[in-house]
Amino acid sequence: MNFVEKLLDACCTNKSLLCIGLDPDPELMPRVGIFQFNKAIIDATWDLVCAYKPNLAFYEALGMEGLEALKETAAYSPRQVPVIGDAKRGDIGNSARAYARALFDAFGFDAATVNPYLGYDSIEPFMEYREKGVFLLCRTSNVGAVDFQSLPLLESARPLFEQVAQRAKEWNRYGNLGLVVGATYPQELRRVRQICPEMPFLIPGIGAQGGDLANAVRYGVDARGEKAIISSSRQIIYASRGEDFAQAAREAALSLRDEINRLRGG
């Protein structure tokens, strides 16, 4: 089963487009270990999500302890729920191959986020893992995204993020490319979906970043109401900082999943 098949299967089984970002921050967490925190969140929510998305920055910041917790988390996640390694890697071909081996072989992620700034040869080593998903940063959710992603290209006057989407569509020969498009820019999300009508989208920016959920669903899903992975992290995993954090996370995840389904008419 390749990544897209696994994603669609999880979406169907759990009736969900919700992805939970597993981003442990010791300053916000209750007094438990990183893996124990993630394990409790997974145990409480695995039947409500289409994917999990650990952001590697939170684990790398904790050194070897964090990386070990990351590996344990990836291994613990239920096999039927894909795990997206949010690494945002991007480098020349030889280094990209090493990054791909790290993410897909060493950690065993089902998909990863990749920065396309260095061009096709920096992406190809990830794409060659044909059963894995590769999400290219296209229109990110942060405020500073406009600094480069909105700049018009001289040859077409189209903004850079549209060209990234167009190139991704052309490069997608194995059918395993997707795009990261933030919920904080709904009109851009709509435009990217027009360019890439069948590609899976990873959509961050809901919750703490203020993205509009209704527009994320309306413009993010494909013609079948699928292939939108709507990600939320802090809103769910820090719904409570007390001993009831896992139950609070489940309640927040259930509420958000059901609201997404209401908006998609499901």
Q: What digits encode the pLDDT tens for the residues 136-154? A: 998 877 667 676 777 677 6
Question: Residue 85: pLDDT band by 50, 70, 90 thresholds?
Answer: very high
Question: Residue 208: pLDDT band by 50, 70, 90 thresholds?
Answer: low
Contact 215, 205 (CB under 8 A): no
> What SS3 state is found at 203?
strand
> What SS3 state is found at 100?
helix
Contact 4, 200 (CB under 8 A): yes
pLDDT at 245: 97
Average pLDDT over residues 209-237: 94
pLDDT at 133: 98
User: CATH top-level class for 3-264?
Assistant: alpha beta
pTM equals 0.95
Ramachandran angles phi, psi of 112, nearest 5°: -150, 155
pLDDT at 93: 86
Residue 251 has pLDDT above 80, yes or no: yes
Mean pLDDT for the chain? 94
Look up residue 152 and give its DSSP letter: B
**Secondary structure in 3-state letters for 217-259:** HHHHCCCCCCCEEEEECHHHHCCCCCCCHHHHHHHHHHHHHHH
Average pLDDT over residues 214-229: 96
pLDDT at 156: 72
pLDDT at 164: 94
Catalytic site includes residue 88: yes
Ramachandran angles phi, psi of 139, nearest 5°: -130, 90
Contact 141, 215 (CB under 8 A): no
Residue 179 has pLDDT above 90, yes or no: yes
Name the residue type at position 154: L
53 phi-psi bin (left φ>0, alpha ψ -120 to 50, beta other) = beta
pLDDT digits (tens, 9 = 90+) for 3-31: 999 999 999 999 999 999 999 999 999 99
Q: Active site residue: 88, 132, 169, 227, which one? A: 88
Question: Residue 59: pLDDT band by 50, 70, 90 thresholds?
Answer: very high
Contact 52, 109 (CB under 8 A): no
